[in-house]
């Protein structure tokens, strides 16, 4: 990538949390209620590269969706940049997501009828801060930074799996969010494409000062990240410093 050249801030660890969960619980209702996330306290600071791991059904993706304001806690609260989100209406939540958080999913979720460029422009259109000409320039610059300058006009079905995931990363960066949330970003890719996507996420942290939080079942991949948080039965079982729960 070549969109910035700044080095990692020396004071990253001293700042207030970029994203914080306070006693967050998520319970699905029904005849037999299911607890997806249980009483999670978590603080993630700027410029961290965090892996969320755990067995299938441990609540990894559920926690990520709560942190990304894609779901609402049954109890507790998520704070973004020190700002409480519990009382936000859906319009304010959507604006916070658009301006603060970029999402990368396992199955990219690109719109099949749109070109790579138009997919990257979608979050910019939704936020509405740039002119159409500026959106196009930024989208092309992001695609070029990810080695996709020759593919801007192609639809997703004309791209490889790795290329589609790189378009999804470009889309996540469209509004210059400080926080990237990734749900199994390499889970559907071959080893070469997985390594390319991991290298991009690593560079976002090391050279561009982003915070990246990635759910992954790949413990080898998680071991290359800076912090690992393990979930079990919806609760935090371990962090970098050892057993918590």
pLDDT at 29 over 90: no
**Higher local confidence (pLDDT), 43 or 29:** 43
What pLDDT is attached to residue 190? 84
Q: Tokens 């507790």 correspond to what residue?
A: 76
Strand-pairing partners, residue 213, are: 50, 181
Q: Tokens 């919806």 correspond to what residue?
A: 234
- Residues, the chain, total? 245
Nearest CA among 108, 165, 159, 116 for reference residue 139: 116
pLDDT at 14 over 80: no
pLDDT band at 154 (very low <50, low <70, confident <90, very high): very high
Second-level CATH architecture of 47-61+90-243: 3-Layer(aba) Sandwich (3.40)
pLDDT band at 2 (very low <50, low <70, confident <90, very high): very low
CB count within 10 Å of CB 168 equals 26
Q: Computed over its alpha carbons, how large is the radius of gyration of the chain? A: 18
Q: Tokens 């559920």 correspond to what residue?
A: 62
DSSP string, 124-169: HHHHT-S-HHHHHHHHHHHHHHTT-GGGTT--GGGS-HHHHHHHHH
Domain boundaries, the chain: 47-61+90-243
Round to whole Å and give the CA distance between 43 and 67: 11
What confidence tens digit (pLDDT) does each residue in 70-110 have?
A: 999 999 999 998 899 988 999 999 999 999 999 998 777 89
**Higher local confidence (pLDDT), 169 or 16:** 169
């Amino acid at each position: 990538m070549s969109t910035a050249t700044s080095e990692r801030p020396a004071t990253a660890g001293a700042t207030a949390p970029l994203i914080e969960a306070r006693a967050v619980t998520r319970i699905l209702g029904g005849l037999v209620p299911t607890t997806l996330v249980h009483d999670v306290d978590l603080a993630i600071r700027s410029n961290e590269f965090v892996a969320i791991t755990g067995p299938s059904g441990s609540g990894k993706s559920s926690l990520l969706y709560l942190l990304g304001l894609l779901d609402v806690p049954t109890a507790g609260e998520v704070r973004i940049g020190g700002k409480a989100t519990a009382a936000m209406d859906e319009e304010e939540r959507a604006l916070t997501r658009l301006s603060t958080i970029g999402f990368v999913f396992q199955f990219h979720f690109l719109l099949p009828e749109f070109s790579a460029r138009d997919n990257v422009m979608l979050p910019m259109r939704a936020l509405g801060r740039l002119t159409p000409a500026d959106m196009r320039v930024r989208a092309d610059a992001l695609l070029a930074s990810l080695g996709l300058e020759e593919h801007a006009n192609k639809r997703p079905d004309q791209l490889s799996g790795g290329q589609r995931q790189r378009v999804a990363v470009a889309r996540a960066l469209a509004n210059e969010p400080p926080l990237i949330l990734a749900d199994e970003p390499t889970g559907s890719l071959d080893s070469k494409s997985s390594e390319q996507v991991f290298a991009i996420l690593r560079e976002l942290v090391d050279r561009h000062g982003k915070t990246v939080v990635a759910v992954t079942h790949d413990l080898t991949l998680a071991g290359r990240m800076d912090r690992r948080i393990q979930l079990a039965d919806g609760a935090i079982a371990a962090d970098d410093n050892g057993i918590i729960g």
